[in-house]
């Protein structure tokens, strides 16, 4: 079921009625299995851009909510970067008060339809869940993210979305640099206090990684657009196609344009490469470029989009994170006959969400574990023709806690490919730090901040990937909220 469709009851309603025929004890709650998320058939979805996961029905949501033990110590809240009252909103779902649940979520998170889809709940709010621990695995935890998504989609389907309250004008002005999750969140909380807010965004659409990085089949762009429209209705101004550090220096926003504070949320948009021979051949892409062409510029709409996409038959994706999964699944939808993910550890060490790996496997993507390329081979036209691939075995754990991959000498083999997508991470966007020398950064280019997200420049704050490195949407939002609180304090 998509966010556009009506919500109807299903077989879960019968199970719910049986369950509620007698008092429900904690022991009974632990016997309720997690509700599976309905999804498109793999054979159909691999050739379309429609959303893969279809969302709970009301009965499924209420049945899943019954699994929650309403723990007094609420360990799930401690795992949430924006501190949503998780037992509170799940309690409302149990009662069938879905709009009440939405109000509770939106006290601390204005992007629940997005977070419910793309946040790694299994390593955040669901990791400390008492139910999951009692049943022996985080996959058995209460499905908090799916419930959050259901509530947000229900509210939208009912046309019941409420605008956040905005206090009377204060005469103060705040500039937000970057319209990604950190910037949008900071903008909302600052605007709520009555300050004027302008968001400066380098691209032609707001949303940051949510529009250029995460594919349509995982996060429909209409949802991101809807959230940006909420900010506009609150009175937030957007200056698009505006590159702070190039169009206008950061310092000028305060010294010449009259902004009382600035928040920097420019993300980590500088791609990393393998630094192996042959990476300059035609057909080698960073995941950033490949996904931006497809997601933001709609290159998959052949004949209609203004940007081309490279035609591929055999695609190698290098990496094991969510971006690698997005790249591989996108390549499949763009017409590749075979897509292989090369990862130098095993599935157990992959940082990608288990759900995304499972979806990729269902769609026919091949995983070559314990393998990594040593060079790219080209043809006489300068195009990718193959990869030389080395095999690995796992040794002792490294500083990340994962077992270190150890190369197996003499195991090199040549595998034909015509496209290589490098998805091994990103560095911080260097533009603002290079054009603002007094802004202190670490050796990786991450902006240095204190516990309130304040930078080395007075009244300039920063958060999200530009501080953390490549992190998650919800962690970026948490930093945006902390910065907004600090900005509101100094502007009082």
User: What does the domain layout of the chain look like in residue ranges?
Assistant: 12-157, 173-267+428-491, 271-426
CA distance 140 to 146: 13
Q: Provide the CA 139 distance to its chain's centre, in angstroms.
A: 20
* SS3 category, 270: strand
Same fold, 12-157 and 173-267+428-491: no
Q: Which residues pair with 447 in a beta bridge?
A: 441
CB-based contact 181:464 (threshold 8 Å): yes
Query: What CATH class is the domain 173-267+428-491?
Result: alpha beta
Query: What CATH class is the domain 12-157?
Result: mainly alpha
pLDDT at 307: 83
Other C-beta atoms lying within 10 Å of the C-beta of residue 210: 25
CB-based contact 317:357 (threshold 8 Å): no
CB-based contact 392:344 (threshold 8 Å): yes
CB-based contact 164:102 (threshold 8 Å): no
Tally: H helices and E strands in the chain: 20, 16
* Of 47-51, 210-214, 299-303, minimum mean pLDDT range: 299-303
Other C-beta atoms lying within 10 Å of the C-beta of residue 80: 24
Q: Which residues pair with 284 in a beta bridge?
A: 420
CA distance 5 to 477: 28
Tell me the CATH number of domain 271-426, given options 3.90.1150.10, 3.20.20.140, 1.10.600.10, 3.50.50.60: 3.50.50.60
Closest among 222, 203, 396 to 297, alpha carbons compared: 203
Q: What are the backbone dihedrals phi and psi of residue 318, each rounded to the nearest 5 degrees, phi first?
A: -105, 115
Q: Is the pLDDT of residue 378 over 90?
A: yes
Q: What are the backbone dihedrals phi and psi of residue 33, each rounded to the nearest 5 degrees, phi first?
A: -75, 150
CA distance 64 to 51: 22
CA distance 435 to 299: 32
Per the listing, tokens 């038959």 go with: 313
At 268, the pLDDT band (50, 70, 90 cuts) reads: confident
Per-residue CA distances from 439 to 257, 431, 468 (Å):
19, 11, 16
If one compares 21 and 360, the residue with the highest pLDDT of the two is 360
Q: What is the mean pLDDT of the chain?
A: 93
Q: Which residues pair with 389 in a beta bridge?
A: 373, 413
Q: Is the pLDDT of residue 1 over 60?
A: no
Average of pLDDT values for 12-31? 89
Q: What is the pTM of this model?
A: 0.91
H-helix or E-strand spanning residue 372? strand 371-378
H-helix or E-strand spanning residue 359? helix 354-362
Closest among 81, 88, 145 to 115, alpha carbons compared: 145
- Render pLDDT for 26-61 as a digit per residue (tens, 0 to 9): 999 999 999 999 999 999 999 999 999 999 999 999
- Render pLDDT for 395-437 as a digit per residue (tens, 0 to 9): 998 887 888 999 999 999 999 999 999 999 888 888 899 999 9
- Residue 13, token pair as written in the block: 């309603």
Which residues lie below 8 Å from residue 189, measured CB to CB, with a gap of 6+? 480, 481, 484, 485, 488
Per the listing, tokens 């995460």 go with: 214
């Amino acid at each position: 079921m998509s966010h556009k469709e009506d919500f109807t009851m299903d077989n879960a309603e019968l199970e719910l009625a049986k369950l509620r025929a007698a008092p429900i004890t904690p022991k009974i709650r632990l016997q309720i299995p997690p509700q599976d998320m309905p999804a498109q058939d793999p054979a159909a979805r691999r050739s379309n851009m429609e959303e893969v996961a279809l969302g709970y029905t009301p009965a499924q949501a209420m049945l899943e909510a019954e699994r929650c033990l309403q723990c007094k110590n609420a360990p799930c809240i401690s795992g949430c970067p924006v501190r949503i009252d998780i037992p509170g909103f799940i309690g409302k779902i149990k009662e069938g008060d879905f709009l009440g649940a939405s109000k509770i979520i939106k006290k601390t998170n204005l992007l629940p339809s997005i977070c419910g889809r793309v946040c790694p709940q299994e390593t955040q709010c669901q990791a400390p869940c008492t139910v999951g621990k009692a049943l022996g695995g985080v996959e058995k935890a209460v499905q908090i993210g799916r419930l959050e998504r259901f509530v947000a989609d229900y509210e939208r389907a009912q046309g019941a979305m409420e605008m956040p309250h905005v206090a009377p004008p204060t005469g103060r002005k705040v500039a937000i640099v970057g319209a990604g999750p950190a910037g949008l969140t900071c903008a909302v909380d600052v605007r709520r206090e009555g300050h004027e807010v302008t968001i400066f965004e380098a691209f032609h659409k707001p949303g940051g990684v949510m529009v250029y990085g995460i594919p349509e089949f995982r996060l429909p762009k209409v949802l991101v657009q809807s959230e940006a429209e909420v900010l506009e209705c609150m009175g937030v101004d957007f200056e698009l196609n505006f590159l702070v550090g190039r169009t206008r220096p950061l310092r000028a926003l305060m010294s010449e344009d009259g902004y009382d504070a600035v928040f920097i949320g420019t993300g980590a948009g500088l791609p990393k490469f393998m630094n192996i021979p042959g990476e300059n051949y035609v057909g080698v892409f960073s995941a950033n470029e490949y996904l931006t062409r497809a997601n933001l510029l709609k290159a998959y709409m052949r004949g209609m989009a203004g940007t081309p996409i490279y035609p591929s038959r055999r695609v190698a994706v290098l990496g094991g994170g969510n971006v690698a999964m997005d790249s591989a699944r996108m390549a499949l939808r763009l017409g590749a006959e075979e897509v292989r993910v090369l990862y130098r550890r095993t599935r157990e060490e992959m940082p990608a969400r288990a759900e995304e790996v499972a979806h990729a496997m269902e769609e026919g993507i091949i995983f070559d574990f314990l393998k990594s390329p040593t060079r790219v081979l080209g043809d006489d036209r300068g195009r990718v023709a193959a990869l030389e691939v080395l095999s690995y075995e796992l040794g002792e754990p490294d500083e990340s806690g994962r077992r270190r991959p150890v190369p197996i000498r003499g195991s090199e083999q040549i595998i034909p490919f015509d496209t290589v997508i490098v998805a091994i991470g990103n560095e911080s966007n260097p533009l603002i730090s290079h054009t603002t020398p007094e802004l202190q950064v670490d050796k990786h280019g991450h902006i240095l901040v204190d516990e309130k997200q304040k930078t080395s420049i007075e009244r300039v704050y920063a958060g999200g990937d530009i501080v953390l490195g490549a992190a998650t949407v919800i962690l970026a939002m948490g930093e945006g909220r902390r910065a907004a609180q600090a900005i509101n304090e100094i502007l009082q």
